[in-house]
């Protein structure tokens, strides 16, 4: 498969990812909605893994899957907390931009990946664009960092970077996307459901109120991760994660749908992200 085709698929994954996040944002209880979506996605992925009759090729690959699940649990927890107190357009740029600042150095030092000058320039442009958009949202919220969810977004950035790097190692060891996603997300679901405590009944309530939206979000979540893991096995972690994080462009569109309106800095950031994505896909 050509590098352009892989890049195009990652962008599809990014659009799907932003869409299911937007569907969660529309729910009153974002945390319960996140777990409802996760449960549906895990069920679908488990069926796919069973049909493929695949397991992990080594203990190391399984360990990477389990560790990525713990990081996914942290991601979903911080995602839902942030969405409860901040606009979608605020959370996304900070979390995704922060993750890039971690993934690129680690992928070079730990995974031994090398990138062309154009790819590095593209990554820098995407990162600048992400932070420009996120900081614009933060400034518009009046500077109350605790209230606008900055802390949750930054914590989410660490978890996003961690599970992406672990995914890359797992697929490099021969793990199949469906099997890897199923195990990782099962761990994430179990940990988050446990942490939810007595509010677990809200998961059923969300499904009852919005079955169509939750099922659609679960399908999109599953497809998004499968496509991304497929591409991650065929490209460097830094480039693939950077392209995936262009989901912020789609998130801005969905933010408009949710009633949020971008300003001049957000638009400039979106242009930088788009230009960076072109350089990465070239």
pLDDT top residue among 137 and 276: 276
Gap between the Cα atoms of 102 and 156, Å rounded: 12
Say whether pTM exceeds 0.95: no
How far CA 168 is from CA of 53, 61, 72, 135, 181, in Å, comes to 21, 10, 14, 29, 12
Which residue has better confidence, 18 or 87? 18
| Per-residue pLDDT at 254 | 64
Report the C-alpha gap between 220 and 198 in whole angstroms.
Answer: 28
What sign for the dihedral angle of Cα 25, 26, 30, 32? negative
Contacts of 66 (CB under 8 A, 6+ apart): 183, 184, 187
Q: Give the torsion sign (CA, 155, 39, 60, 109).
A: negative
Give the C-alpha separation, 282 to 276, whole Å.
Answer: 10
* Nearest of 248, 228, 237 to residue 6 by alpha carbon: 228
Ramachandran angles phi, psi of 152, nearest 5°: -65, -40
Structure confidence by residue, pLDDT tens digits, 90-106: 676 777 777 877 887 78
Mean pLDDT for all residues in the chain: 80
Model confidence at 182, pLDDT cuts 50, 70, 90, reads very high
Radius of gyration, alpha carbons of the chain: 18
The predicted structure's pLDDT at residue 171: 92
Question: Of how many residues is the chain composed?
Answer: 282
What is the per-residue pLDDT for 181?
Answer: 93
In whole angstroms, give the CA distance from residue 179 to residue 65: 9
pLDDT grade, residue 34 (50/70/90)? confident
Residue 23: per-residue pLDDT: 84
Distance, in Å, from the CA atom of 176 to the CA atom of 110, rounded to the nearest integer, reads 22
Cβ(226)–Cβ(181) below 8 Å: yes
Mean pLDDT of all residues in 18-22: 82
Q: What's residue 43's pLDDT?
A: 94
Q: pLDDT grade, residue 134 (50/70/90)?
A: low
Q: How far apart are CA 4 and CA 15, in angstroms?
A: 17
Give SS3 for 151. helix
pLDDT for position 24: 83
Categorize the per-residue pLDDT at 64 as very low, low, confident or very high, splitting at 50, 70 and 90.
very high
Measured CA distances, 88 to 133, 251, 253 (Å) = 11, 7, 10
pLDDT grade, residue 185 (50/70/90)?
A: very high
Q: What are phi and psi for residue 67, nearest 5 degrees?
A: -65, -40
């Amino acid at each position: 498969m050509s590098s352009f085709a892989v890049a195009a698929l990652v962008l599809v994954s990014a659009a799907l990812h932003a869409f299911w996040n937007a569907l969660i944002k529309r729910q009153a209880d974002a945390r319960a909605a996140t777990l409802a979506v996760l449960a549906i996605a895990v069920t679908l992925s488990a069926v796919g893994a069973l049909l493929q009759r695949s397991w992990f090729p080594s203990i190391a690959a399984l360990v990477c899957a389990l560790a990525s699940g713990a990081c996914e649990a942290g991601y979903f927890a911080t995602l839902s907390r942030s969405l409860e107190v901040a606009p979608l357009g605020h959370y996304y740029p900070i979390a995704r931009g922060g993750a890039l600042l971690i993934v690129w150095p680690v992928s070079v030092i730990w995974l031994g990946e090398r990138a062309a000058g154009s790819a590095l320039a593209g990554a820098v442009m995407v990162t600048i664009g992400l932070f420009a958009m996120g900081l614009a949202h933060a400034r518009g919220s009046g500077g109350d960092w605790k209230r606008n969810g900055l802390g949750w977004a930054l914590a989410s950035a660490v978890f996003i970077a961690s599970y992406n790097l672990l995914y890359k190692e797992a697929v490099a060891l021969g793990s199949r996307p469906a099997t890897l996603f199923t195990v990782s997300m099962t761990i994430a679901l179990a940990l988050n459901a446990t942490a939810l405590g007595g509010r677990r009944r809200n998961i059923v309530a969300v499904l009852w109120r919005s079955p169509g939206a939750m099922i659609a979000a679960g399908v999109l979540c599953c497809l998004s991760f499968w496509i991304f893991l497929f591409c991650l096995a065929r490209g460097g972690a830094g480039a693939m994660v950077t392209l995936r994080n262009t989901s912020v462009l789609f998130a801005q569109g969905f933010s408009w749908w949710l009633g949020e309106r971008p300003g001049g800095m957000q638009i400039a950031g979106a242009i930088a992200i788009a230009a960076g994505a072109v350089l990465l896909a070239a």
